[in-house]
């Protein structure tokens, strides 16, 4: 097994273990301390990553100290209501994904899926541009519905049911949607070259280039 496969396996096991522990804590069977630490872990990871990227890291020390002080003062409330932190994280994540896709559908913007397709295939014909714009709409609606459903389920159903849905159903749902879209793409664009998993992996490694493009880079010169 290659180093890349090992790294993917480790990441997969880590995410699964985290989801299982989060669900266990939401069932009320784990100590509140564990639930609070698991809830704060993603936020602390984001904070640590941001501080590492600062050119002058010493400037981040006051922010870090302020965060630690705030956690210390609010820790009893965090232990009692750590599920609120899970809820905010889930809703914020899916709302951000919906916004990332949706903003590219505004006038003058390049649909995100069109941009990704152009990174893999180069300039795109008009038919492909129409299709990738529609797919961008699909993902925008999907993440919007997930964000709304996450909040609605939290209010209407038991915490255990809500936790099961957000931790173990959303990702499989996204995978099924991707698989359905791939099959529909092969039907709708039978003559187009379709990206392989290797193409997608190379695409994801390009970082900031995933987020934007100029329309002139996406449209082919021939109809």
For 10-51, what is each residue's pLDDT tens digit? 888 999 999 999 999 999 888 999 999 999 999 888 888 887
Q: In this predicted structure, what is the pLDDT of residue 203?
A: 58
| Residue 4 clears pLDDT 80, i.e. is over it | no
Please give the pLDDT value at position 123: 86
pLDDT beyond 80 at 87: yes
- Using CA atoms of 72, 73, 76, 81 in order, give the dihedral in degrees to the nearest 10: -100
By the 8 A CB rule, do 98 and 143 touch? Answer: yes
Identify whether the C-beta of residue 112 lies closer than 8 Å to the C-beta of residue 100.
Answer: yes
The number of beta carbons lying within 10 Å of the beta carbon of residue 10 is: 10
pLDDT of residue 221: 37
- Return the H-helix or E-strand segment holding 93: helix 82-102
**H/E run at residue 26:** helix 3-26
Average pLDDT over residues 115-129: 87
> Where exactly are the structural domains of the chain?
82-223
Q: Return the pLDDT at 204.
A: 58
Q: Of 21, 66, 28, which Cα lies nearest the Cα of 42?
A: 21
Q: Round to whole Å and give the CA distance between 42 and 182.
A: 31
Contact 136, 104 (CB under 8 A): yes
Q: What is the pLDDT of residue 201?
A: 57
How far apart CA 86 and CA 56 sit, in angstroms, is 31
Give residue 72's pLDDT.
93
**What are the beta bridge partners of residue 124?**
219
Say what the pTM is.
0.84
Residue 194: the pLDDT is 65
Token pair for 219: 């449209």
Chain centroid to CA 157: 24
Q: Which residue has the tokens 């932190």?
A: 85
pLDDT digits (tens, 9 = 90+) for 154-210: 999 999 999 999 999 999 999 999 999 989 988 888 877 666 556 665 555 555 556
Higher pLDDT pick, 55 / 24: 24
**Cα distance between residue 76 and residue 33, in whole Å:** 10
pLDDT at 105: 96
Residue that wins the pLDDT comparison between 203 and 93: 93
**Structure confidence by residue, pLDDT tens digits, 206-223:** 555 566 554 444 444 333
pLDDT of residue 190: 80
24 CB contacts (<8 Å, ≥6 apart)? 30
């Amino acid at each position: 097994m290659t180093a890349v496969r090992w790294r993917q396996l480790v990441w997969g096991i880590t995410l699964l273990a985290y989801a299982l522990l989060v669900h266990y804590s939401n069932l009320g069977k784990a100590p509140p301390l564990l639930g609070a630490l698991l809830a704060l872990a993603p936020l602390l990871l984001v904070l640590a990553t941001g501080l590492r990227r600062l050119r002058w890291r010493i400037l981040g020390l006051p922010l870090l100290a302020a965060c630690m002080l705030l956690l210390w003062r609010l820790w009893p409330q965090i232990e009692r209501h750590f599920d609120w932190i899970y809820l905010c994280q889930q809703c914020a994540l899916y709302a951000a994904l919906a916004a990332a896709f949706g903003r590219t559908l505004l006038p003058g913007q390049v649909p995100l899926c069109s941009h990704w397709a152009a990174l893999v295939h180069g300039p795109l014909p008009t038919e492909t541009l129409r299709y990738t714009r529609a797919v961008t709409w699909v993902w925008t609606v999907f993440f919007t519905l997930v964000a709304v459903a996450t909040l609605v389920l939290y209010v209407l159903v038991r915490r255990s049911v809500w936790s099961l849905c957000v931790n173990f159903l959303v990702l499989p749902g996204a995978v099924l949607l991707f698989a359905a879209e791939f099959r529909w793409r092969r039907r709708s664009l039978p003559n187009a070259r379709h990206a392989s998993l290797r193409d997608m992996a190379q695409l994801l490694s390009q970082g900031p280039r995933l987020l934007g493009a100029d329309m002139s880079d996406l449209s082919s010169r021939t109809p």
